[in-house]
Amino acid sequence: MKTTRSLTVLLALAQVTACGGSGNSKVVANYAEIAEASYADSIETAETLDAAIQALVADPSEATLTAAREAWLDSREPYLQTEVYRFYDGPIDNPEDGPEGLLNAWPLDENYIDYVDGDADAGIVNGTDTIDAASLEALSGKGGESNVATGYHALEFLLWGQDFSDDGPGARPYTDYLTDGSGTAANQDRRGQYLTVASALMLKHLNQVYTAWKDGADYRSSFESDGDGGVEKILTGMIVLSGFETGGERLQASLDSGDQEDEHSCFSDNTHRDMVQDVQGIVNVWTGTYTRLDGSVIEGNGIYDVVKGVDADLAESLDAQITTSLSLANELQPPYDQEIKAGNAEGNARVQALIESLRAQETLLEEVFVAMEFSVPVVE
């Protein structure tokens, strides 16, 4: 039950009238187009991954496992660029039915899924529960909140296994999927079924978000007609992803803990790419430009153009800072677990530099938020 929120409405109305303009609605429309294209590209790579997973399960071999792993890595590139569409209760993470937790939650409760070092019988794979889409979705809610039985990192764990290597990722053998009696570990058939079902579920959840962003869809239309409310949401996503999520929750926390596996993609050692693509997503929104998988480019006005109209100096500072963040993200050396290791001064410094740049970027974005009167004015 909702209470009446007349004051919130009052403020929202005030904000709409504060700094409207058709220029900004073009920016919002271009943003929505990039969001749609980014999710479409995420689906395309997830479909390729799904086909590779089906090939692996049908005919497990070194070659089919390698192909599936490569397809997983490819699928991460466009998806991470969509993380900038989080944090304002949009299609990806609204509290009612946003599938973010089912798609990308971390850390993974890996022994909830399959065997781990020290417990050969762990997980749903080695249990007796039915493995189908409905049961995996239900089991993901079993902990009350998502305990991560699904999504990218579940697939990652099933393709790579736990990572016990200093200089490489996890090394699950393809024989974990052999069902002819010569396989390794138990329940190879159930493992294959889990992988297949989880992959299909991931596609379903990606499609749910894509559908909401599709041109003409209800969410897309209301987003585009929200005027400066749209700009406020866009900036909210950029601010929270820059500081709170990427700079803080992922980089700062892992650097502080120094734990080898306290990283976002810990089975595949792909965290360095996660960081690059998270920042790339911010760049896309900032510049209003997105290069699609097929090489075609969506170009339009970005948030840069909005800020330029408000405070040209601030726009240039932010442009420089976001560029710096992207180049610092690209300097991270794989594997990321070695970058954060205590004693690796150079690696630690590279992570620290990126954190500081992202924090500076967050601060500048907050200045934009204030300059555009999205913050609450205190008159005293």
Smaller CB separation from another protein, 293 or 353: 353
**Nearest distance, CB of residue 80 and another protein, angstroms:** 17
Tokens of 251: 């980089």
**Nearest distance, CB of residue 99 and another protein, angstroms:** 16
**Nearest distance, CB of residue 16 and another protein, angstroms:** 9
The 10 Å CB-count burial string (b at 16+, else e) for 313-335 is: ebbebbbebbbbbbebbeebeeb
Smaller CB separation from another protein, 69 or 359: 359
**Nearest distance, CB of residue 61 and another protein, angstroms:** 26
CB atoms within 10 A of CB 244: 14
Residue 235 backbone zone (phi > 0: left; psi -120 to 50: alpha; other: beta): alpha
Secondary structure letter of residue 214 according to DSSP? S
Tokens of 332: 């991270």
Secondary structure letter of residue 112 according to DSSP? G
The span from the first CA to the last CA of the chain, in angstroms, equals 35
**Nearest distance, CB of residue 301 and another protein, angstroms:** 23
Secondary structure letter of residue 180 according to DSSP? S
**Nearest distance, CB of residue 366 and another protein, angstroms:** 6
Strands (E), 202-294: 289-291
Tell which residue, 237, 240, 370, 378, has the closest CA to residue 311: 370
**Nearest distance, CB of residue 44 and another protein, angstroms:** 29
Q: Which residues are 297's β-sheet partners?
A: 291
Q: Which long-range contacts (CB under 8 A, 24 or more apart) does 166-173 make?
A: 166/260, 166/338, 167/335, 167/338, 168/269, 168/335, 169/267, 169/268, 169/269, 169/270, 169/335, 170/267, 170/268, 172/65
Smaller CB separation from another protein, 46 or 102: 102
Cα–Cα distance between 157 and 76 in angstroms, integer? 14
**Nearest distance, CB of residue 24 and another protein, angstroms:** 17
Smaller CB separation from another protein, 13 or 58: 13
Smaller CB separation from another protein, 36 or 163: 163
